[in-house]
Amino acid sequence: MERYGVGMGDLVLIATKGGAFEGILMPRYEFADEEHIVVKLKNGYNVGIRVEEVDSIKVLERHEIWRKERPEFERVTGLPKVKLIGTGGTIASRVDYRTGGVSPAMTAEDLYALVPELKELADLSVENLLNVYSENMTPSLWSRIATEAYNALKGGFSGVVIAHGTDTMHFTSAALSFAIENPTGPIILVGAQRSSDRPSSDAATNLIAAVRVAIHPEVRGVFLSMHYGLDDDLIALHRGIRVRKNHTSRRDAFESIDEEPAILVRGDRVLLRRTFPKGEMKLHAEFSDQAFLLKFFPGMEPEIVDYLVERGYEAIIIEGTGLGHVSSAMIPKLEEAVEKGVFVGMVSQCIWGSVRMTVYETGRELLRVGVVPLEGVTPETAFVKASWLLGQGLKGTDLAEAMKTDLRGEVLERRLSI
Amino acid sequence: MERYGVGMGDLVLIATKGGAFEGILMPRYEFADEEHIVVKLKNGYNVGIRVEEVDSIKVLERHEIWRKERPEFERVTGLPKVKLIGTGGTIASRVDYRTGGVSPAMTAEDLYALVPELKELADLSVENLLNVYSENMTPSLWSRIATEAYNALKGGFSGVVIAHGTDTMHFTSAALSFAIENPTGPIILVGAQRSSDRPSSDAATNLIAAVRVAIHPEVRGVFLSMHYGLDDDLIALHRGIRVRKNHTSRRDAFESIDEEPAILVRGDRVLLRRTFPKGEMKLHAEFSDQAFLLKFFPGMEPEIVDYLVERGYEAIIIEGTGLGHVSSAMIPKLEEAVEKGVFVGMVSQCIWGSVRMTVYETGRELLRVGVVPLEGVTPETAFVKASWLLGQGLKGTDLAEAMKTDLRGEVLERRLSI
């Protein structure tokens, strides 16, 4: 690219042995691999071109937003104050309507320049707290983000928006839900799936919706702001405690599990579908790294449980099959683990629905040896909850009782009939 | 129950301190626990009654089907021959329209008595091969089922229906898809989710649809027959290689992943939505138990990989986040595993969509150390495929190549734009 003096977002004419392509050069991370460049054609499709087949690249029009100094914006006064915490990932950066591209620094001015709608909405303060891909998040980083968000609300911000990579955003949203009891305002995680085949990235729309809800006087709690369905303008805010990334690449990758999204946003309309009770805000930021999430599969050798116990894990969350089952061969090992003081909780790898371990012999046997059914808690939230309760110093029956208790609306009520 | 001389399906009048209940006594496995009995009221609702609150139980009407000898049925002659293989689980047993209940033996006569529609459809031969809960299925049991199904087709049966517990039915359907190359007819797994709040169990409807497709002259391949959506009469046949149990309790718990069901059945109408190519049928029944399915979570300690390698696993299928990622801390351990000859493949815990490891630095780094992207193969199918290829004696680059190759339609094509 440097060789041809072109940059992301430039309108280019690329001559190849197979013909010429005119379009917008897409950012590096959109490359299928190092040997391809990707150009968005006028018809909206992206085409990947092998570098070795490129004869020449001519810049037809420079995309100045990536190069120039930002103009100074006149700040609108009297707007509600919103804290924007950057943690890394696609959206924690400059967002560009034209390419959907990002670059790795972020100031309030950058955001106002790139997403002008924000200027009229909120007085943004940006804190670039972390810069990690979300697959590198850890329980101790959850603590740092929770503390920062808590301090912002405590310090008088109307709301907090957290830019986060999407891969593990639902783990972090669950973590914040536990760590911050009764937040006095909205704490909203926002990511981008970067559907590069559309003129506007989802980053901008997700972010605008997040800020719009962050300034809403009635909303309290932890949410995750992403596209809803195939509609270009509809954004869902999912409760942070009951949401999951269920698609690798779609804009509407995140889904509320066994409930509807808490809030919908379309343009400047915000539809609240719940009430958001008040309470005294408290921070409980500590997480432990001694919880393990274990997915069961047919034929799994039970010795894996010995390993986890010997290694010192204090809580094992099992993703069982169906209503909460593992093979009979696993049960004695789980019994030993429980006898040694390890918490063993059961969720279902089905994702939807609730475990119910009284229906079949296997489930009843698991209950008998002390495995705790975690009802309709999602596997990811159950793992985060165990990590948090261990971080809060809970052990033994206290831990088991707390795992069974609905602390933040994470447990869906079980029904008698299935 | 014995004390009162009542049985499943009896119409009873139960007197309690809190009032009287009239309804049908539901089978034992419907009890919420040992202390409750469950009665289906006339309005269709189930009510759980604490045993200690029961003053008396009066039988108003015996449900004779559970007690009497079956009448001899006159077999309809000239019908297509279908082999029904019982493996255990709810449906591998007597199915009772009235209670949705089951009992643990099965003959063709039982089935004709309980699901009379079958009598006009097919000449059933029943083989009670196994009697295991599906969470106790293992790779070696997959081999036995595959061999039995293969022999049935080879021996001239039009089709094979396999009654199976639902918990791991999608693992077994993937296993049969690999083990039997080019089946000459339909091989259909069928289960029941036992929605006891409906007058008819889904067992009967799923089974009728399975048999209806099992006799279809154009259908070949491995499918899974279960309810589709909320419609009482609509049954979907999902391709065994791309289906997953996505709900713990709903009748429509199974979903085709990233494709539509292959066949729909409503009453006597069968809608084929694909063609089913012919080929020479071959059996490759061996599976290995040296594959491990590992779900990644934030903060996972990389030493788990050492454990799996030391324990002798020859293939590790990682359920990564998003497009196929794990933390940076895991990568050196995975590199070591690959260097020691362990196959490491990547799928996504998102369930829907495809891994695409060229987009982000983490994915490219994983590719560099030899982790193999498995595109849109579901985690469960990827695990079964690795187990099968190891069972077929493949190792090293042969194994990696075969894992990347679309052998049975398990790989969904990747798209350039995401």
Assess whether B90 carries a catalytic annotation. Answer: yes
Tokens, residue A251: 């804009």
Confidence at A44, pLDDT banded by 50, 70, 90: low
Please report residues of A whose CB lies closer than 8 A to that of B137.
298-299
Assess whether B202 carries a catalytic annotation. Answer: no
A211/chain B closest Cα distance in angstroms: 25
Looking at the domain covering A2-65, what would its CATH class be?
mainly beta
User: What is the fold, at CATH topology level, of the domain defined by B2-66?
Assistant: SH3 type barrels. (2.30.30)
Please report residues of B whose CB lies closer than 8 A to that of A356.
248-249
Pairing of strands B11-16, B19-25: antiparallel
Tokens, residue A248: 């690798």
Q: Helix B379-391 to helix B169-179 angle, to the nearest 10 degrees?
A: 40
**Contact state of B293 with A297 under an 8 Å Cβ cutoff:** yes
**Contact state of B301 with A289 under an 8 Å Cβ cutoff:** yes
More confident residue, A418 or A103: A103
CATH architecture designation of domain B291-404: 3-Layer(aba) Sandwich (3.40)
- B125 SS3 class: strand
Flag whether pLDDT at A301 surpasses 70: yes
**Contact state of B245 with A321 under an 8 Å Cβ cutoff:** yes
Flag whether pLDDT at A103 surpasses 60: no
Q: Hey, where are the domains in chain A?
A: 2-65, 81-283, 291-404
Tokens, residue B2: 């014995």
Please report residues of A whose CB lies closer than 8 A to that of B132.
none
**Contact state of A134 with B321 under an 8 Å Cβ cutoff:** yes
**Contact state of B299 with A139 under an 8 Å Cβ cutoff:** yes
B166/chain A closest Cα distance in angstroms: 7
Same fold, A2-65 and A291-404: no
**Contact state of A167 with B325 under an 8 Å Cβ cutoff:** yes
User: Taking a C-beta distance cutoff of 8 angstroms, is the pair B377, B384 a contact?
Assistant: no
**Contact state of A246 with B352 under an 8 Å Cβ cutoff:** yes
Interface test with B, best of A39, A198, A248, A294 (most B CBs within 10 A): A248
Active-site residue among B87, B99, B166, B205?
B166
| Best mean pLDDT range from A55-59, A335-339, B13-17, B125-129 | A335-339
Q: Which of A133, A289, A380 sits opposite B362 (nearest CB)?
A: A133
CA distances, B299 to each of A88, A169, B166, B203, B302 (Å): 16, 14, 32, 43, 9
- Region of A312 (left: φ > 0; alpha: ψ -120 to 50; beta: rest) is left
What does the pLDDT profile of chain B (418 residues) look like in tens digits?
Answer: 656 777 777 888 998 888 888 888 876 543 445 677 888 787 767 788 888 888 888 888 877 654 445 555 667 789 999 999 988 766 654 544 444 444 445 677 777 777 888 989 999 999 989 888 899 999 999 999 999 999 999 999 999 999 999 999 999 999 999 999 999 999 999 998 864 334 456 888 899 999 999 999 999 999 999 999 888 899 999 999 999 999 999 999 999 999 999 999 999 999 999 999 999 999 999 999 999 999 999 999 999 999 999 999 999 999 999 999 999 999 999 999 999 999 999 999 999 999 999 888 899 999 999 999 999 999 999 999 999 999 999 999 999 999 999 999 999 865 434 3
Confidence at residue B111, expressed as pLDDT on a 0 to 100 scale: 75
Give the mean pLDDT of A113-141: 90
B24 has which bridge partners? B11, B40
More confident residue, A329 or B19: A329
User: What is the fold, at CATH topology level, of the domain defined by B81-283?
Assistant: Rossmann fold (3.40.50)
**How high is the ipTM of this complex?**
0.84
Please report residues of B whose CB lies closer than 8 A to that of A245.
321-322, 350
Q: Which of A295, A327, A416 sits opposite B319 (nearest CB)?
A: A295
